[in-house]
Amino acid sequence: DAKYESLVKAAETALGEAVRMARANTKASDIGRVIEGTIIKFGFRPIQNLSGHSLKQYTIHAGKSIPNIWTIGSSFTLLANEAYAIEPFVTTKDGQGVVHEGKTRNIFGITSRKPVKDKEADNLLELMWTRFRTLPFALRWLTDKYEEKDLRRLVDVLAKKRNVHAYPILVEGRGKIVAQAEHTLIPTDSVVNVITL
């Protein structure tokens, strides 16, 4: 939608500014300050309770947060050859600048591979593990093997047995639109290696 192009541009510009400075030994709080300042210059608000983060193999959020605002508590420094996701989230000026969990759940992740003694559900669980391991996934990524109604039914079985976790959608506090831009990078002392290009 053309009326939201500047919101997207703010997210992309904030990301570009953050990536340019994200070398080893850069403070995460300094990255947050640049993201926040860039978004505010566009006349928008950053989402303050979402952040970038460190990454490890099969662990998307590996413990370290890179904020979208300047914060005192985010003083860790980026390490050389460690992977990070930087992801500015932007909302309108009249937005609340925070998100909360909505009711819809379309993203899932495996939490246990223990069989549930339902052959169809166990087969789906094995397919999920083969394709995604511990990474989050959307049910639509499995519609080449299952009808959507069957997927929903079987995922409900797996969720009740706690084999699968359902992630809720995130909704802006005042129901406003949110834009996001993201890159994964590996900093060194002299360069930033962006690996999502």
Confidence (pLDDT) at 74: 59
Q: Are 178 and 17 in contact (CB under 8 A)?
A: no
Domain that holds residue 124: 101-170
pLDDT, tens only, 132-165: 998 999 999 999 999 999 999 999 999 999 999 9
Report d(CA 196, CA 100) in Å as an integer.
27
How many domains does the structure of the chain reveal?
2
108's CB contacts (< 8 A; 6+ apart) are: 128, 136, 137, 138, 139, 155, 159, 164, 165, 166, 167
Calculate mean pLDDT across residues 51-75: 86
pTM for this prediction: 0.86
Q: Are residues 117 and 71 in the same domain?
A: no
DSSP 103-158: EEEEEEEE------S-HHHHHHHHHHHHHHTTS-EEGGGGTTTS-HHHHHHHHHHH
Give the tens place of pLDDT for each residue, 89-126: 999 999 999 999 999 998 999 999 999 999 999 999 99
pLDDT band at 22 (very low <50, low <70, confident <90, very high): very high
Are residues 189 and 165 part of one domain?
A: no
Q: Quick one: 120 and 162 in the same domain?
A: yes
Looking at residue 87, its pLDDT comes to: 97
pLDDT number for residue 51: 96
State the pLDDT at residue 73. Answer: 65
